[in-house]
Amino acid sequence: MNTTHQHHSIVIVGGGAAGAGMAHRLMEQLKTPDVAVIEPSEVHYYQPMWTLVGAGIVAKESTRKRMSDLLPREVNWIRDRVVGVDPDQQQVETASGQKIGYDWLIVAAGLKLDWGKVDGLSKDLIGQHGICSNYSYDTVQHTWEMIRNFEGGTAIFTMPPMPIKCPGAPQKIAYLAEDYFRRKGIRDRCTVKYVSTTPGIFGVKKYADALMNRVIKPRNIETRFKHNLVALRPEAKEAVFENLETGETVVEKYDLIHLTPPQSPPDFINGSPLANEAGWLEVDQHTLQHSRYPNVFGLGDCVGTPNSKTAAAVRAQAPVVVRNLARAMRGESLTAKYDGYGSCPLVTGYGRTILAEFIYGGKVRETFPFDQGKERLSMYLLKRYILPWVYWSGLVRGRQWPAPMPRDFGSGHGPV
Ligand SMILES: Cc1cc2nc3c(=O)[nH]c(=O)nc-3n(C[C@H](O)[C@H](O)[C@H](O)COP(=O)(O)OP(=O)(O)OC[C@H]3O[C@@H](n4cnc5c(N)ncnc54)[C@H](O)[C@@H]3O)c2cc1C
């Protein structure tokens, strides 16, 4: 086993939406940067586009880029996976046995898909027995195959316990499938059901009302709330749900089921001194500095803050982390504050989107000067064409906007 020891001034764990952008920002801002990114994957994925891949709108190959083309060339890219962290010794340990010391640590490791938490489910079942999922690059193509070949019957779309990444994604694919069945002329032979652990369709009332009144009821999509998928019987095509209020078991037959897997904090955080009670990275929800280890910051899906886990949240968090880290390095008090911004382009059909934007406390914080609670073609075109550009040329390049802008430009808000 390789047990080399290295030390870097700043170590970033993860080269995803959060980590790649942070690496660029730090390389640009610091005079003599000594930044290492620990990231095992050769490929970086633009996950928000998987909703449209599952609906047959874009090819899945367009959602990936080589990590080597994305990370700054001057950064020390350590192709390894973090398996442990010792914040008292200021070091992380990797799968290959390396111990990497740091002065400052930025944790941006995303989250873990926990397929096995559903009894009878494993990732290799996706693509068989009417089971599909948009939640990973390897499975997303099956969603479109199954929706396209559906000839009628019951299609179920599930939502696991929160928190998950992009809490809107489990319902977006239900709306797209329903729209596709309608366009194909088979809608009257289809039952479309959305089954969720949450008490309602969306956490922000304005958008919940819009979705119920303008989308779900008129289009006869059945909903069942406070129900958790606990088991799957693939051969019998049965899904077993637990009623979270009564504890009763409900068995539903299906012909197609789109699963959103249960999601958990990364193992190396969960149970470490950096974790909160639920296992997520414990940072102050405004400064994004760790609550007990001031030389640790975090952003993205791995943090335990009560915002919606989205790339849009990362876009608002990244400038806060950079500014606060720079101040902390100079021994100054932290002044930048993240307000909980998150965004969810709720694609409600082919050519229609409600753009939800909100901050902590479920307060609406919209970008455009019109009612974003309405389904709009313009917001669909934003999702389809503009946001990928904002992501690839802006967010993951460490820029707030695709073209370079003055450093302190803007609040950091905006969907991705
Ligand atoms: C189907 C779907 C639809 C979505 N739709 C939207 C949307 O419309 N809008 C939106 O804003 N967001 C959306 N999202 C959410 C968005 O993709 C995530 O919130 C965003 O990618 C979070 O960035 P991150 O860097 O925290 O995590 P990721 O981008 O997942 O990156 C985490 C990185 O950490 C690496 N890593 C993991 N474990 C370790 C380890 N132990 N050591 C080192 N590296 C590690 C991984 O390899 C990965 O590269 C969607 C997600 C999905 C799945």
pLDDT in single tens digits along all 416 residues of the chain = 445 689 999 999 999 999 999 999 999 988 778 999 999 999 999 999 999 999 999 999 999 999 999 999 999 999 999 999 999 999 999 999 999 999 999 999 999 999 999 999 999 999 999 999 999 999 999 999 999 999 999 999 999 999 999 999 999 999 999 999 999 999 999 999 999 999 999 999 999 999 999 999 999 999 999 999 999 999 999 999 999 999 999 999 999 999 999 999 999 999 899 999 999 999 999 999 999 999 999 999 999 999 999 999 999 999 999 999 999 999 999 999 999 999 999 999 999 999 999 999 999 999 999 999 999 999 999 999 999 999 999 999 998 877 554 444 445 567 77
What's the confidence (pLDDT) of residue 388?
A: 95
Contact present, 38 and 13 (Cβ < 8 Å) = yes
395 to each of 11, 30, 177, 332, 413, how far by Cα in Å? 19, 18, 30, 27, 12
Write down the residue that tokens 């609906």 correspond to.
55
- Type of residue at 167: P
Nearest by Cα to 108 from 359, 339, 300: 300
Q: How far is the CA of 238 from the centre of ligand 1 (A)?
A: 30
Tokens 């059945």 belong to which residue? 222
Nearest to 258 by CA among 142, 406, 87: 142
Residue identifier of the C-alpha nearest atom 27 of ligand 1: 110
- Is the four-CA dihedral 316, 73, 267, 325 of positive or negative sign? negative
Is 299 in contact with 314 (CB distance < 8 Å)? yes
**Alpha carbon of 40 to ligand 1 centroid (Å):** 14
Measure 17 CA to ligand 1 centroid, in angstroms.
6
Q: How far is CA 193 from the centre of its chain?
A: 23
DSSP conformational letter for 301: G
Q: How many CB atoms lie within 10 A of CB 225?
A: 16
Ligand 1 centroid – CA 110 distance (Å): 5
Residue with the smallest CA separation from ligand 1 atom 6 is: 48
Give the bridge partners for 25, in sequence order. Answer: none
Q: Hey, whose CA ends up nearest to atom 1 of ligand 1?
A: 135
What pLDDT is recorded for position 248? 98
Distance (angstroms) between ligand 1 centre and the Cα of 70 equals 15
Residue 195 C-beta-side C-alpha neighbours within 13 Å: 27
Ranges assigned E (strand) in 184-248: 190-196, 222-224, 227-233, 238-243
- 166 part of the active site: yes
Of 326, 192, 170, nearest in space to 255 by CA: 192
Q: Which atom of ligand 1 is nearest to the CA of 415?
A: 11
Contacts 24+ apart (CB under 8 A), 178-182: 178/219, 178/221, 178/349, 179/348, 179/349, 179/350, 180/55, 180/56, 180/147, 180/148, 180/350, 181/150, 181/155, 182/219
pLDDT at 132: 98
Query: Quick one: which atom of ligand 1 is closest to the CA of 134?
Result: 1
Give Cα 373 distance to the centre of its chain.
22
Nearest CA to ligand 1 atom 35: 14
Residues within 6 Å of ligand 1 by CB: 13-19, 38-41, 47-48, 50-51, 81-82, 108-110, 134-135, 165-166, 169, 266, 268, 300-302, 309-312, 314, 343, 345, 416
**46: CA distance to ligand 1 center in Å?**
8
Which of 310, 353, 379 to mutate for ligand 1's pocket (most ligand atoms within 8 Å of CB)? 310
Would you call 118 helix, strand, or coil by DSSP?
coil
In this structure, the residue with its CA closest to atom 37 of ligand 1 is 109
172 in Cβ contact with 194 (< 8 Å): no
Active-site residue (options: 132, 190, 302, 344): 344
Structure token pair of residue 175: 């709306």
What's the gap in Å between 47 CA and the centre of ligand 1? 7
Q: Is 302 a catalytic residue?
A: no
Global pTM exceeds 0.85: yes
Could you tell me which residues are beta bridge partners of residue 64? 45
Report which protein residue has its CA nearest ligand 1's atom 15.
310
Nearest CA to ligand 1 atom 41: 82
Q: Which among 132, 166, 190, 302 is annotated as catalytic? A: 166
- Please give the Cα distance from 340 to 402 (Å, whole number): 22
